[in-house]
Every structure is written in structure tokens, then in C-alpha cells.
Chain A
């Protein structure tokens, strides 16, 4: 699928802000086989005093912008053309839940894709016994990890209510889970914490969804803003799979990946230190439109 992606994110402050320094995670990733990006442009207003970029540890493109003059709002907009391919999936076997600890103790690398980064506690994730029991009630002890991912994702989707008014960007996953309410960030954090609680390495993916569904399909939840889903490591053979608990589906060509991290804190679209006590309000607009192509086959996941 070929898409035109438009993404803009704006902050408005209650008063003048003297300076600002932000890290932006907005560039879609180039992923071999799965996703290729062309013609991307990021505009920032007001004009920043400094602008630079680097790749972070997990390989995400990070832009750094510095505002040195007083401003009351700022906006970052990205346009890009992104092609999503259906990853050919031969019948790979996912590891068994019981064998996971042994597999993991044998892993001897800390490269960005290493499952070792995606276990245990990270700034926004705290594995716990409640979630461990929750998963164990769903699947047998020797379930395949891919089955665990699907079963858990489906269950969360059934039990949770998508409710943007129930949580904020700072809500703890324990609270969102107790209320069984939240948005994609909460769904994802709960699922990551649950997977890690049973020893499955799991991380956070930020990205965007196709805005309008293909004819005859329902609109995906979370398409109007930046989206988030989960990646889980299912053993050395199958490797990483991506699952969207908000929509209860494995990720295919309707999702565009922007950044990978351990949790939201690694990939938040705008990070920044603001010298302002006056509060701030953010707004987002996302548009992911298929490019008309006669030869295009709409392959859906």
C-alpha cells in the first residue's frame, strides 16, 4: 500500500514561553521489506533557532529543535509518502512460553533489536503479579508465545473501553487497567506490562493508521491521532511480531511505523523542557490517505 502521510502536532501555551528545547519523534522509519519512506519533509514553526537530528539507540530518527525567543505556540508538521508491504510470512514457529527463560538466558547481544531491552521494568512499565495471573488465566503454561499475544490482545480489546476522556498521557498502566478504560497508549502499556509479566519481551510502537477504511471495512479506532501498538518477541525463529490491541489485530499494511521503544517514554512524539508554569494544550491531526494507483492491490491484514 502506498500512502500520503500528513501529521501535525501543535502545542499552545497559556502564556509566553521564553525558551524551548524539544526532541521530536515524527519521522516514519525505513524498514527493510516492510516499510519504505520517500519525500519526507518536517516543518517547524516558529522558525527554531537551532535544528539538528540524530538516530537514537533504537534507530529512530530524532529531531532536536531549540526555540530561543518567546513564543506562545509551536507546531511541527510532517508530510511523507510511505509504502507498506505485506511481509511474507512463512509458517514460522513461535517459541513456547515455558522455554522462554532458557532462550533468553542464551542471548548474548545488546543490539537495538535484542529482546533483552524489552523485559522487566522500564520508565513507564512495571510488570506485576496481577497481570501475570491475568495472562495465566487465559492460556495454558505451555502456550505458544504468538498465541499468548493474540489471546491477550483479544481479551484486552474485549474488556477495555476506548475512552479518550478516561486517561491522560501520564496515566499509569495499573490505573488504566483497573478502570478497563483508555486509549491506544494505555492499551499498549497494559499489554506490554502483561507480556513482560509472563516473560515475553515486549515493546512499544508509535505510528499512524490509515484514516479511511477500505470499502466495506470498519474504520479503525485511533486513526485521527498518532497511534500506538505493541511488538512482542516470539523466540528466535519468528522474532518480533506487532499487534494492535486497540483494534485486536496483528499489524499489516494499515499501520505506519514511526518509532520503536521500550515504552512511551522512549518514543513520545514531542519531548521537551518548557520554561513555563502556565500549562499547555496539545492537538494532533493525522491524515493517512492511499495514493490512487491502478495497479495497487489492497491487501488487508
Chain B
């Protein structure tokens, strides 16, 4: 018919030319006869309207979104953490809404079953008494927490937020590979992956009848807030900290849900209740969504070596003073060996078989099972029975039966014989395949899904979507993200139009409100130090630039000005032997670390800006910048990069307590570094050119020219950089700023000693205002710097410890 249609058919042909599913392995896109399944038809015809170039452009929109949002995959190699771009597989996995309903229903049944098992393991232990679970297995598990036996969770449930890893087996039915009950991660990734993918297919997505995810998160937030016993208490997300593999996701979801993100040391238990230490004192915490494994949660009663827990948390749970999601101890349900017994437990407890089976598993602690595993070794994965990792995340502890050679087989058999109790055999499975874009065409790749669900007042609510792990080889039974697979969005496609209300707007009126306005002391400290490090880095950069400019211009490195400047640099710890002094590098790294710890409070742009600064620094370090002009230029670039970040911070942050700590940090650092630099450059014996240097350091050269003309004098420089209240770089400006920010803190926080601190600031400012330019000399400035340092010490003591 028409040419466009013909063109589309041609692209479709090209698109699918390499799409050859493995015989006998179900494929999501094509049915057994090679026809496109109905649920994919609209999407595929949308794809076929674009040639590979256009598609590449579309895909890059998604990649750019993730990059700009700061979504990276953190990987651990040996002892180093590296971040690499989020491995987005651009083609979503499409699943028919009706099929999804079946999956959801069966997974709800499974979640209920797991809840019942947890209630029994921490209650009467009837499953063990009846022989449905071997007592030996439970007794050996480090995740069965004896101190919680007999302790009922306050809300009545052990599980409130769970995830399942599922895949489609050879017969087309879905299997559960693994249950995630400890501290399931990935819900935030699902959300980010959705945003990225919907940007790629923006024109199609709007009308594609794809279920939205926001409703799920709104339900989740409501569920968490409704677990409170008091409206005045916080719901907090308990993170293992910025070094956690999924810290980005935790901070992202904290920001998205508007909940407090805390680390173990932000919390304290008093009189059996949990509190968060904030700049305004202790505030009650009633609900914790923990992203931390049970054993780390309390060094007093759990793992003594944990440095990221809260001493006394188990005691608070025992007294029913806090709800923990999921309950401490719920990790036992992730033990691989449990999969061997769940089918029987389902019949016993629910009176029916599992609606969705789990991957066939045999515990080698029993003779018959041991024999079975040995006899079918080539179809088995053998691994630790109590491990909670999924078998498809293979590590050195997993043996793949199919890859064993002769001696290996003997070894495996002996191992099963002698240490059977500690081992399970799991049948290897093949995954269904789903399209991925490789080269310039679609190819089938193995796929598994992670499905999330939350317990609401009306029962389990399943996220209509999730994320899919996409393998790298067509014939793979290994799907590990660390091993290089990628992540795709999951679209649940309906016949009917879907509810497209986005974010948390729906039902805003009935949605409970989270308690606002708490700034944990540690977050305050990190913000404060972020500002100080950035300011310090700026000072270092300016000074280093000034020195290298002089170096480029000077006839001799022995010129009095250079000698003076070099001496001052050395005095403040700035190495002059190298173009980029280690102190500057260290300060920028420290700023980055501080920023990382408050990532939930920074905008994505701010995060991107500070990372660009750090990347630029890496580049500069790698390129061995030459001293003199080259180094000066490089300093100029770094200066502009760091201004971009501080500018974003200053402009975008809500003018509340957080911002005050940033502002305090900046002012205090500037007061200290500027007074110190002025003391050197305004000294009586300072060589010719020092006054220009002072102006340059205070970024006030142009203002000086406007007000006083070209020739600086000691009084004019002192007046402009110290006493001129209109100069945002002057000492007096920052003294006032300091007092202004301290006022509300002292008023509202009512912390011990904050009144005196405010008094000290006021006294310092008043004394300073009475000075004339002639009074600003080296001696005065040195004493002044010490007074500011004392204020800084008090501030840290009062608000941040």
C-alpha cells in the first residue's frame, strides 16, 4: 500500500532479522510459531517506525537521564568501590496485565505463607515439632535470632515489604527463584528505570496503557506512616551508610517518599524507646524501614562487631516500642534450604500447593535427598544451605554440576557426603528470553523479574512493574548484575486505559503526613563540613592559581613576592612542589564524601556538579599539569566547577535548618581562611604586590578598582576585604551572616550553650564594627582567627555531637 507502511515493514524485518529464540526456551516476544505476541504488537510497531540511528538517539535520552540523576552501579572489586554507568537495557519487558494478575495472586499467597513460617519460627515452632522443617537447619542459621524468639512484632507482622525474583520456566509457567525478606533493595531502581525508559519511548508511553508505579509508592508510604503510634514520631529509613552498594537507591527513595534517612549512629535508645539525634535534640522514631541486615542492627545483642548498628535496638523491639520493616530476624526466610520445604509447608499450613512453585531444591542433610542430588549432579547447582544469596549470583561457594570434570565430581560427592547438612542442591533452570538491543538489532536474552509488594490495610499490594535482569548471553543460566548483565523496565500492559495519575498526588487529602523538620545531627555535621571543605577548596585553588600566575610572569622564582607567597602556601599546608597540591585534592575528596553522606538532601544537579568537579580533578591529576601558566589555567577551571556546585547549593536549598548549617560552614571557613591570608598579605614586611594578592584572594579586585582606583593601599584593601559590609567577600559580611544564621538556631534548638554561642558571635561582630582600617593588622587578625576557631569548636560541640 503506502510507502511508509512498506518502510515500516522493512525496518521490522531488519529489527527482527537476528531475533532467533532458542528452541525449547519460551520467549516473551515471540510465540512458539514465531509470531509476535499480542501484548508486544503496539510497542514493536512503534519501534519499527524508527531507523537504528533514531533509536540510538532515543536510547541516549534514557542514558542521559540516568547519568544526570546520578544513577550509577556501584561495584566492588577487591577492596575498591567503583561506579559505572547504570546498565540500562533500553527495551522494556512487556507482560500482559491479565497474566500479571495471576502472578500477583500467587505471590500474595507466597508472601502470606512466608509470614506464617516466620510467625512459627519466632513463636511455637510447630513446623519443627511436626517434622515439616528440620530443627538442625534452623538452629544452625545465623539469621534465626534467638533473642527474638517469643517476641511478637508490634504491628503483628514480620513481613511488610518483600520482593521475589521470578522467571519463566520451559513450560511457560513462572517460578520463584528466591525470596527477598531481609531488606529488599531495588524498588527505587525500578522507579528510576521506569523514568528513563518512559523518556526513551515518550511518544509511545503516554498511550501505551502501561500501569504506572506511583500508586504503589503512595500505598507504601501510607502503610509506613500508618504503622506509627503517634503522629509526632518519625518514620525513618535506616541505611547501612554511604558505603553500601545500594546507598544511592536508599537516598533516592528517602527523597521520593519524603522520609528521614538515618544511619545507626543517628539513633539512640533511651528508656527502651528509639530516638533520632537532631540538631534540635532527640526526636522519637516509631517506624524504621531498615535497609540493614538484622545482624548489623544492634552490636549489643546481635553481631558485636557491627559498627553501623544502634545499641539497644533489640531491647526496643522486645518492649514493642518500635516497628521495624521487615521485622528483625526475617532474613531466615531467605535461606536457600527453606525452598526445599516450602512446598510441603504450603500444603500443611494453607492446605494447598504453592500456586507458583519455587525452583526445585533439595537439602542434603537427609539421606534420600542427598542421593537424589548426587545422582543428578550434572543438572544441579550445589551451594551453602544457609546462604541467602541466590544461586544465580554465583560465587566461589557454588558448584555447577554441569561444569565439573571427573575429579570434581568425586570431590562434590564427597563434600555432599560429609557436609550435606550445610549444602543444598538446586536444579539448574533455563530462563525465558526477552528482547535486548545489541549492535543494531533485537536479540533474545535470558531474563528474570524482581517483583515488589507491600502490606497495606487491604492486604498485599503488588508493584505493577519492577525490574528485569537481562543476561549477557543467549544461553545463560547466570544472571548477576555484577557479572555484567543489565536492567530493563517491566511494563504491565493493559487492554484498557490505565490510571495515569503520577507521583504522590492521588488521594493527597487522605494520605497521612510525615513529621517534618528534623535534621539529624550527623547530617547537619556533613552539610556543615561540605560547605567548609568547598570553601577551603576554593581558597586553596585561588591561592594556587595566584602562585602559578606569578610563577609564569616572574623573572625569577626567587622574587620576594613569590618567596612570600610560597612561604604562606607551605604554612597552610599547600605543597608548592607539585602543580596540584595533595591538600587541594584531599579537600575536594572530603567534600565529595560529605556530599555523598547527605545525598538525599542534594538536588540531582548539585550531585552532578560536585561529581564533575571531582572528575575534572581526576583528569587534571592524570595529565600531569605543568607548573606556571598550565596549572593556573587548570585552577581556573576547577574554580568555575566548584562555583557551579556552591552556586546550586546556595540557590536551591530550602531556607531551613539544613541551609543554615551550610551557610555557617561557609562563613566560618571563610572568616578563618581570609583572616589568615590577610594577616600574611597585609603584614608590615609583606613584599610589593602583596596587596594585589590580598584582593585577588578575596576576589575583590574589581570592586577595589571601582571604589578606590587602581593603586591599592593597606587601608583601602583592609577596608574593602574586612570592614565593607556591602562586599560579600568581606569579614564583616560573614560575621553578620554568622550571627544571622545562629539566631534562629539558638532560638529554636534550645540546645545547651547555644545562647552563649550566639552571644560570642554578637560580641565579636560588635567589636569588629568599631574598628577602623588601620586597626586591621597582622596581630589583630591572628587573634581574630583564633576567636572564630573557638566559635567553630563550640558550634560542633553543641549541635553536632
Contact = CB atoms under 8 A, between A and B. Distances in A.
Nearest to B319: A52
Contact of B300 (A114, A265, A272): A272
A260 to B, nearest CB: 12
Nearest to B134: A105
B304 A114 contact: no
B300 A23 contact: yes
Interface in B138-176: 138-140, 146-147, 149
Interface in A1-42: 21, 23
A105 B135 CA distance: 8
A57 B135 contact: no
Given A21-B312, A52-B272, A271 B131 contact: no
A53 to B, nearest CB: 11
Contact of B125 (A105, A110, A119): A110
Interface in B117-146: 125, 128-131, 134-136, 138-140, 146
Contacts of B131: 108
Given A50-B270, A119-B140, A271-B300, A108 B147 contact: no
Point out which of B134, B139, B271, B299 has the most chain A C-beta atoms below 10 A from its C-beta: B139
Nearest to B146: A57
Contacts, number: 66
Contact of A50 (B146, B271, B421): B271
6 contacts: A110-B138, A116-B135, A119-B139, A120-B140, A265-B304, A271-B304
Given A108-B130, A116-B138, A117-B146, 11 more contacts: A56-B146, A57-B146, A105-B136, A108-B128, A108-B135, A109-B125, A110-B128, A110-B138, A110-B139, A120-B421, A120-B422
B364 to A, nearest CB: 13
A105 B364 CA distance: 13
B315 interface: yes
A59 B270 CA distance: 25
Contacts of B422: 120
A54 B318 contact: yes
A58 B150 CA distance: 12
B413 to A, nearest CB: 18
Point out which of B135, B147, B300, B365 has the most chain A C-beta atoms below 10 A from its C-beta: B135
B311 interface: yes
A104 B270 CA distance: 43
B301 interface: yes
Contacts of B128: 108-110
A289 to B, nearest CB: 34
A213 B568 CA distance: 75
A64 B269 CA distance: 12
B450 to A, nearest CB: 31
A105 B422 CA distance: 14
Contacts of B301: 23
A107 interface: yes
B135 A273 contact: no
Contacts of B149: 57, 110
Nearest to A101: B421
Interface in A78-125: 104-105, 107-110, 114, 116-117, 119-121
B146 A21 contact: no
A114 B149 CA distance: 14
Interface in B347-390: 365-366
A63 B271 CA distance: 14
Nearest to A265: B304
A284 B140 CA distance: 33
A66 B271 CA distance: 9
B561 to A, nearest CB: 45
A109 B301 CA distance: 23
Interface residues of A, number: 27
Q: 8 smallest A-B Cβ distances: which pairs?
A: A57-B146, A116-B139, A273-B311, A21-B311, A116-B135, A117-B139, A110-B125, A120-B140
Contacts of B136: 104-105, 107, 116, 119
Interface string A38-70: 000000000000101010111000001010100
Given A21-B311, A57-B146, A108-B131, A273 B139 contact: no
Contact of B129 (A54, A66, A109, A120): A109
A104 B272 CA distance: 39
Contacts of B125: 109-110
Contacts of A50: 270-271
Contacts of A54: 318
A284 to B, nearest CB: 20
Interface in B611-642: none
B147 A56 contact: yes
Interface string B282-308: 000000000000000001110010000
Nearest to B265: A275
A141 B146 CA distance: 34
A177 to B, nearest CB: 22
Interface in B685-717: none
A74 to B, nearest CB: 15
A189 B15 CA distance: 67
A170 B300 CA distance: 17
A20 to B, nearest CB: 9
A98 B375 CA distance: 26
A114 B300 CA distance: 25
Point out which of A52, A104, A105, A119 has the most chain B C-beta atoms below 10 A from its C-beta: A105
A272 B146 CA distance: 19
A176 B441 CA distance: 64
Contacts of B130: 108
A56 B128 CA distance: 21
Contacts of A108: 128-131, 135
Interface in A167-183: none
A102 B458 CA distance: 47
B300 A21 contact: yes
A13 B422 CA distance: 43
B311 A114 contact: no
A65 to B, nearest CB: 11
A184 B468 CA distance: 55
Interface string B250-269: 00000000000000000001
A273 B147 CA distance: 18
B66 to A, nearest CB: 40
Contacts of A56: 146-147
Given A109-B125, A109-B129, A114 B135 contact: yes
A66 to B, nearest CB: 8
B314 to A, nearest CB: 10
Contacts of A114: 135, 139
Interface in B28-69: none
A63 to B, nearest CB: 12
Point out which of B130, B304, B422 has the most chain A C-beta atoms below 10 A from its C-beta: B304
A182 to B, nearest CB: 21
A272 B311 CA distance: 9
A21 B270 CA distance: 10
A114 B422 CA distance: 19
Contacts of A271: 300, 304
A227 to B, nearest CB: 22
Contact of B315 (A64, A120, A121, A273): A64
B139 to A, nearest CB: 4
Interface string A128-172: 000000000000000000000000000000000000000000000
B311 to A, nearest CB: 4
A116 B301 CA distance: 21
Nearest to A49: B270
Given A52-B272, A54-B318, A120-B140, A110 B300 contact: no
A222 to B, nearest CB: 24
A241 B195 CA distance: 64
Contacts of A119: 136, 139-140
B121 to A, nearest CB: 9
Contacts of A120: 140, 421-422
Interface in A245-291: 265, 271-273
Nearest to A104: B136
Nearest to A273: B311
